[in-house]
């Protein structure tokens, strides 16, 4: 592979909240290059509606935020990581406000709302339902004035460079010219987001294809908790349009879920009704859909005033109106959609992976703060807190390591002699998304997972060397992530949080508190030697 060779002190792959926050820190320590697939707005952070959870209101404190996070995560959260999240979160938000982020206020004070599984009103919002875009805007504006920051938009990360067990850069594809670039760096930060696009129904933008997770896996990084995929309970259901996220804040402000018999059904599933944790609400909706033989349920906010809805949820109101749904007068058809990956590249409290030189933050990472089910609106806070922590650790690492001056031989790949056509790739991609939705989705069984695994393995062999274009490379990554999710879901023979096995609906027993791990050297079995040791000791 012939490629232009570039050098930088720090390479950041991804440009959401975690990526931008890490860039602001690393620019204090050297030259920073950001590689971003698509443009500045093509990331999950930008589309985050609901808000950012932080213990800043008078009725709240970090201990309550900690407790709610652990409880929502079904006690599979890392307590040290969760402590870091809730304790450092307020400082990161104050910092963001100082940099110009404009959060909504009431009478000059920050306005907080309540969402499912939160015991207090602690969710800050901006523009009503445009929190992510405002945070990206504020961070981006701060980054634009930095002279030692280079932005490479429309560049796609292909592979991480590894030399002597050390991550020292990456090979990227220039989407506009079709040429390759090798970027050497003292440290690499992977902040590429999640992989919602492996599912037929997802709230994620089209570029959320798990690229960073797949790259890290191929390079030898450990993935953890890949079976835990959060399905958002309420996305707009219209047969002729893609799913559109309807923020949990709609239920926080009093929205009611009804089935097609007009019944308010959540009281049958949880005492907190519409404000139960997301995994419970999603499965309740699914159960009602099966019971009533319907493709969706309804979210009713017609009892709220039109003026309030327009001001509080301007994006949702206008988007639904484009589809001829006036949410102040009509119930909104909704169904669950794949939304967030609790699993990802395993990291420590400073964003470090098991590969020296590779640091990961945001949705691509498994920092441990989400456990088996993410507490709503904790993700943007995680991006800020651990984006900074990963950057600080990367800066410390760079003092002890200098990147190579030539490309490691291990990454000189050849193009496939027998390339798949664009049509074949697109057909495989669509089949993959349907397979994951039906076999590895909200409700799973051993039989469905085994069938999915066999098909995914066939596709993986077919795509060992994909066409070297964005579509081919993305599809390879999607298959890889799908394999890891399926393997981990087969391994976890119980139901907990977002992982629900219909054939094993109980949560206790073997593997209850053990975390699944996938690593290339041990694949296809995600169970590490450490896990096997735990099982022998009876740590269940």
Catalytic sites, residue numbers: 278
Contact 526, 487 (CB under 8 A): yes
Count H helices, E strands: the chain?
Answer: 15, 22
Which residues touch 230 (CB under 8 Å, ≥6 apart)?
A: 278, 279, 338, 339, 340, 341, 342, 373, 374, 498
Nearest to 339 by CA among 50, 137, 85: 50
Q: Which two tokens stand for residue 432?
A: 């993959």
DSSP per position, 88-117: HHHHHHHHHHHTT----EETTEE-EE--TT
3-state secondary structure 421-474: CHHHHHHHHHHHHHHHHHHCCCCECHHHHHHHHHHHHHHHHHCCCCCCCHHHHH
Give the integer Cα–Cα distance in Å for 360 and 390.
7
| Residue in 274, 15, 24 with CA at minimum distance from that of residue 148 | 24
Peptide bond into 336 cis (omega under 30): no
- Residue 296 phi/psi, 5° resolution? -160, 170
**Beta-carbon neighbour count of residue 321 at 10 Å?**
13
How many CA atoms does the CB half-sphere of 72 hold within 13 Å? 30
Q: In this structure, how many other beta carbons lie within 10 angstroms of the beta carbon of residue 108?
A: 5
- How far is CA 163 from each of CA 160, 169, 193, 219, 414, rounded to the nearest angstrom? 10, 10, 25, 10, 19
Nearest-CA neighbor of 259 among 183, 172, 335?
335
Q: How far apart are CA 30 and CA 94, in angstroms?
A: 25
Which strand ranges, in their side-by-side order, compose the sheet holding 517-518? 365-366, 344-346, 223-224, 517-518
Q: Tell me how crowded residue 165 is: count the other CB atoms within 10 A of its CB.
A: 10
């Amino acid at each position: 592979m012939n490629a232009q060779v570039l050098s930088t002190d720090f390479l950041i792959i991804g440009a959401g909240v975690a990526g931008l926050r890490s860039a602001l820190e690393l620019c204090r320590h050297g030259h920073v290059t950001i590689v971003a697939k698509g443009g500045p707005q093509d990331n999950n952070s930008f589309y985050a509606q609901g808000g950012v959870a932080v213990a800043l209101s008078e009725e709240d404190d970090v201990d309550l935020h900690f407790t709610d996070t652990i409880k929502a995560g079904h006690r599979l959260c890392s307590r040290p990581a969760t402590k870091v999240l809730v304790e450092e979160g307020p400082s990161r938000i104050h910092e963001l406000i100082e940099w110009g982020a404009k959060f909504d206020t009431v009478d000059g004070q920050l306005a907080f709302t309540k969402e499912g599984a939160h015991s207090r009103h602690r969710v800050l919002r901006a523009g009503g339902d445009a929190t992510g875009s405002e945070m990206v805007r504020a961070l981006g504006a701060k980054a634009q004035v930095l002279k030692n920051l280079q932005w490479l938009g429309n560049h796609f990360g292909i592979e991480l460079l590894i030399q002597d067990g050390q991550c020292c850069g990456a090979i990227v594809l220039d989407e506009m010219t079709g040429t390759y670039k090798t970027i050497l760096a003292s440290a690499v930060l992977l902040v590429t987001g999640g992989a919602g696009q492996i599912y037929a129904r997802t709230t994620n933008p089209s570029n959320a294809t798990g690229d960073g997770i797949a790259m890290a896996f191929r390079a030898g990084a450990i993935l953890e908790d890949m079976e835990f995929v959060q399905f958002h309970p309420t996305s707009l259901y219209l047969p002729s349009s893609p799913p559109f996220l309807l923020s949990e804040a709609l239920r926080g402000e009093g929205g009611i879920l009804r089935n097609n018999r007009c019944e308010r059904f959540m009281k049958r599933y949880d005492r907190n009704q519409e404000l139960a944790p997301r995994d419970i609400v999603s499965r309740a909706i699914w159960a009602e859909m099966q019971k009533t033989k319907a493709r969706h349920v309804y979210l009713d906010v017609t009892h709220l005033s039109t003026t309030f809805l327009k001001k509080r949820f301007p994006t949702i109101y206008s988007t639904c109106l484009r589809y001829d749904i006036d949410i102040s007068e009509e119930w909104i058809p909704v169904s669950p959609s794949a939304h967030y990956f609790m699993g990802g590249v395993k990291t420590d409290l400073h964003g470090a992976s098991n590969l020296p030189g590779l640091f990961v933050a945001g949705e691509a990472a498994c920092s441990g703060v989400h456990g088996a089910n993410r507490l709503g609106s904790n993700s943007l806070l995680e991006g800020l807190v651990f984006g900074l922590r990963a950057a600080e650790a990367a800066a410390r690492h760079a003092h002890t390591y200098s990147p190579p001056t030539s490309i490691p031989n291990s990454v000189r790949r050849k193009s496939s002699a027998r390339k798949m056509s664009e049509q074949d790739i697109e057909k495989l991609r669509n089949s993959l998304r349907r397979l994951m939705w039906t076999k590895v989705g909200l409700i799973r069984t051993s039989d469905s997972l085994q069938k999915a695994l066999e098909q995914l393995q066939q596709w993986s062999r077919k795509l060992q060397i994909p066409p070297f274009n964005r579509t081919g490379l993305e599809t390879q990554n999607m298959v890889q992530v799908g394999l890891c999710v399926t393997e981990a879901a087969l391994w976890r023979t119980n139901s907990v949080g977002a992982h629900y096995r219909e054939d094993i609906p109980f949560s206790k027993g073997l593997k209850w508190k053990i975390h699944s791990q996938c690593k290339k050297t041990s694949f296809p079995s995600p169970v590490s030697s450490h896990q096997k040791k735990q099982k022998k000791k009876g740590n269940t």
